[in-house]
Structure 1
Amino acid sequence: MRAAPAVDAAGVAHAPAGANARIVSLVPSITELLFALGLERQIVGRTGFCIHPREHVRAVPKVGGTKAVKIDAVRALKPTHAIVNIDENEAPTVEKLRAFVPDIVVTHPLVPRDNLALYALLGAIFDRQDAAARLAGSLEAKLRALAVEAWPEQRVLYVIWREPWMTVARDTYISAMLRLVNWHTWPAVRGGSAGAARYPPFDFDAPWLANVERVLLSSEPYRFTAAHRDALAADASLSGKTVQLIDGEMVSWYGSRAIAGIDYLMRLARAAG
């Protein structure tokens, strides 16, 4: 019996790919997921930010960055499939790819549980249903482990950039990951479908900062360091607040990384008391 088409985040149905599929991934966390699904022989291109798994991605040609894709480099690889993300890749770039890539697979996980659909989508397209089911089982087990613990509420500011300072809205994947351990991001805003609004700028004199108990400085996209942490911890405007570094990959990367990311957040929350 013929398999039913798999439907992506843009509502597009994709027929199962053959064994000769040639995949270009323009999403770092998706590249890692493709390797976890056992598709290493079919991955022909990736961005320079696709750095995991480190021992394998070195052999895959780079095609620029997530926001600066080299269209000619992608074209030269003759891909049958390109995998993109609504937040990470720009719409004009995706439209250029549609001119010569037969299948554009659009992803857009917004909460950790969306990874289950993501595993199933890619598993169905690339005939890796068993591997996708194993990942889904692992993620479900982590989510069950979360549910049996009581997590004290924390009000947090998750910082992703400086000059200007930028944070995350509550309808981002990052904010949803943090909510798993009852950490709630401030300000209490939602960004909707607009990319910029999902990652709003802020000032440290904002009135809502009084609600924040913990400031989390992410390792990506801006690489905050111990020096940044120490400088902010000494700032009088943050008196009484905990300022700490956080591994951005563990919080913002979906796909297979979400499984390890939940373990990481549980350790972080336990240490915070």
Structure 2
Amino acid sequence: MTTRVVDAAGIEHATAERGARIVSLVPSLTELLFALKLDAQIVGRTGFCVHPRNQVRHVPKVGGTKAVKIDAVRALQPTHVIVNIDENERDTVEQLRAFVPHIVVTHPLEPRDNLALYALLGALFDREDEARELSASLEKQLHACASRAWPMQKVLYAIWREPWMTVARDTYISAMLRLVNWHTLPDVRGGEKGAARYPSFNLDAAWLAQADRVLLSSEPYRFTRQHCDSLSHDTRFKGKRIELIDGEMVSWYGSRAIEGIAYLVDYASR
């Protein structure tokens, strides 16, 4: 009996046939597909899909997450393309719908959403046992994190400079940080009164005075120790803890979330 699964856009998909050809336009989901042991069916990925390193190098690139080469995807004749609401452009997805039988839309907003993500892809591609194993590992990490008492802190999580940019509280990154009781600044949610999910700010913003920590992410902008040193000498950041953080561990959902939660617990314990 054919199972039918529903993606984040509310679109129903029948269980894929064994000969399914998958193109992933989301780095963290490419890694998840490999974790689900779908190596032989992954026929395309973006240039930002860099994990697992040894396996992805054999998979053809089709551009970037926001600069997809439509003709390159077409040439691969995929039956399924995996996309994400935040990472891929709507226009790109609509162009792909013209010739790809199944566009699978994802949109995890918090760590626990990975359970549904594992279940979705596991059911779709007949990897339910592998999906259950990932879910058990994630539940274990979530439980270990929740079993500890974390002091509340307000943090600035910087993802870009020139202009400086951070994350709103309805992003996956912010939800990850809340696992250790860290609350991102400013206190905004994307879409509220025109607020962006990844708002820009300037270093004179009054709300920066509330920050206990300043976290400079390794991606998408690659902050370095030099940036930490520069801010530490800025009087506007006097007394604040300024440090680098591994952006992949905090922002990548999918299978990386399991390792990411363990990383965050260790990071917050220092």
Shift of 1:4: 3.1
Secondary structure of the corresponding residue to residue 165 of structure 2: coil
Q: Residue in 1 aligned with 2:173?
A: 174
Deviation at 1:204, TM superposition (A): 1.1
Cα distance, 1:180 vs structure 2:
0.2
1:39 aligns with 2:51: no
Instruction: Please give the secondary structure, in 2, of the residue aligned with 1:168.
Output: coil
Shift of 1:147: 1.5
1:61 matches 2:60: yes
Alignment-mate amino acid for residue 218 of structure 2: S
CA contact (8 A) 1:171 1:192 kept: no
The two structures have a TM-score, normalised by structure 2, of: 0.98
What is the SS of the residue equivalent to 1:216? Answer: strand
Deviations 1:174-205 (A, max 9, x none): 00000000011000000039998100000111
Q: Which runs of 5 or more structure 1 residues have no equivalent in the other structure?
A: none
Q: Is the 8 A contact 1:24 1:83 kept in 2?
A: yes
User: In 1, are the aligned partners of 2:152 and 2:183 still within 8 Å (CA)?
Assistant: yes
In the superposition, relative to structure 1, how do residues 39 and 193 fare at CA in structure 2: closer, same or farther (>3 Å)? farther
Deviation by residue 1:128-173 (Cα, 9 ceiling, x = unmatched): 0000000000000111111211111111000000000000000000
Letter in structure 2 aligned against 1:40: D
Per-residue Cα deviation, 1:7-61 (whole angstroms, up to 9, x for no partner)? 0000001100011000000000000000000000000000000000001000000
**8 A contact 1:167–1:200 mirrored in 2:** yes
Q: Aligned partners of 1:112, 1:70: CA distance in 2, in Å?
A: 30
Aligned pairs for 1:222-233 within 5 A: 222-233=221-232
Pairing of 1:108-257 with structure 2 (within 5 A)? 108-192=107-191, 197-257=196-256
Runs of 4+ aligned structure 1 residues displaced above 3 Å come to 192-196
| Identity level (%) | 73
- Structure 1 vs Structure 2 CA RMSD: 1.3
* TM-score between both structures, scaled by the size of structure 1: 0.97
CA distance in 1, matches of 2:141, 2:179: 11
Q: Secondary structure at the match of 1:197?
A: coil
CA contact 2:168–2:190 (8 Å) conserved in 1: yes
Counterpart-to-counterpart distance in 2, 1:80 and 1:65: 20
SS at the partner of 1:198? Answer: coil
- For these two proteins, the number of residue pairs brought into alignment is 270
Question: Which residue identity is paired with 2:251?
Answer: S
Give the Cα–Cα distance (whole angstroms) in 2 for the partners of residues 193 and 124 of structure 1: 35
Cα distance 1:59–1:80, how it changes in 2: closer, same or farther (>3 A)? same
Q: Deviations over 1:59-102 (max 9, x none)?
A: 00000000000000000000000000000000000000000000
Which aligned pairs between 1:71-110 and structure 2 lie closer than 5 A? 71-110=70-109
